[in-house]
Amino acid sequence: MAKYSDIKGFVFDLDGVITDTSVFHSQAWHQVADKVGAPWSKELEDGLKGISRMDSLEMILKAGNLQDNYTDEQKVDLATEKNTNYLKLVDQMTPANILPGIKDFLDEIKNGGYLLSLASASKNAPKVLQKLNLTDYFPKIVDPKTLSKGKPDPEIYVKGAELIDLKPEQCIGVEDAAAGVESINAAGETSIGIGDKQILKDADINFEDTSEMTLANIEAQMN
């Protein structure tokens, strides 16, 4: 692991880290799974975290052995329907949906002179940040449309560091998904996993929930 004193910036995931939208994604995908008749399980739900929209749909169809039952056009329709339902939930969001401690942590980072970028797989990230009144904290956002591969590939976290002109070793990546932690580690950054320690066992630092995330707690785990 890098030394705490080498860290100059943070690359953040959004869904499930900054806000509770991971629950909304799950809710909307569960509806799709029910519609196509694919089985829904905790493992599938956890495995979908961090995964792009179309790859998520493929995973759901595969769980029901249904991947060959739909044309590409039908798959796009299913993904669009999911996104419409997801956006209805996002529309009701307010800054109250920011997860505990996150606003304070973002202020701590900003006031400490650390740089900040967003590495979310979600094409809806700018809209979600706007609903949370957090747009000003994230002038640098990796555009998921520019990615050739999604998480767990390192590309998104490599780009997150590049956007703030830092080397990966100078960055901490923050994630709630196993695929995301894998992506951070493969990018050569220090990984923080938030949530189930068993699912996020590969993270360099684990926090049970966002309220534990402070610079002092991170420093204590790195030295």
Residue in 16, 47, 160, 195 binding Mg ion, rule: CB under 5 A: 16
Q: Which of residues 129-188 bind ligand BG6 (CB under 6 A)?
A: 177
Q: Binding-site residue total for ligand BG6 (CB under 6 A)?
A: 18
Contact segment (CB under 5 A) with Mg ion among 12-20, 82-90, 183-191, 198-206 equals 12-20
Residue bearing tokens 């179309």: 54
Q: Is 46 one of the annotated active-site residues of the chain?
A: no
Q: What is the 3-state secondary structure (H, E, C) of the chain?
A: CCCHHHCCEEEECCECCCECHHHHHHHHHHHHHHHHCCCCCHHHHHHHCCCCHHHHHHHHHHHCCCCCCCCHHHHHHHHHHHHHHHHHHHHCCCHHHECCCHHHHHHHHHHCCCEEEECCCCCCHHHHHHHCCCHHHCCCECCHHHCCCCCCCCHHHHHHHHHCCCCHHHEEEEECCHHHHHHHHHHCCEEEEECCCCCCCCCCEEECCHHHCCHHHHHHHHC
Residue in 13, 155, 182, 204 binding Mg ion, rule: CB under 5 A: 13
Q: Is 104 one of the annotated active-site residues of the chain?
A: no
176 contributes a contact to Mg ion by CB under 5 A: yes
Q: Which of residues 192-211 bind Mg ion (CB under 5 A)?
A: none
* Mask for 22-51, x = binds ligand BG6 (CB under 6 A): x--x----------------------xxxx
102 contributes a contact to Mg ion by CB under 5 A: no
Q: Would you say 174 or 177 has its CB closer to ligand BG6?
A: 177
Residues contributing to the annotated binding site: 13-15, 29, 48-53, 56, 82, 120-124, 151, 175-176
Q: Would you say 7 or 79 has its CB closer to ligand BG6?
A: 79
Instruction: Report the alpha-carbon distance of residue 17 to residue 213 in Å, rounded.
Output: 10
Contact segment (CB under 5 A) with Mg ion among 23-31, 66-74, 174-182, 211-219 equals 174-182
Tell me the catalytic residues.
13, 15
Q: Which residues of this chain interact with ligand BG6, rule CB under 6 A?
A: 14-15, 22, 25, 48-53, 56, 83, 120-124, 177
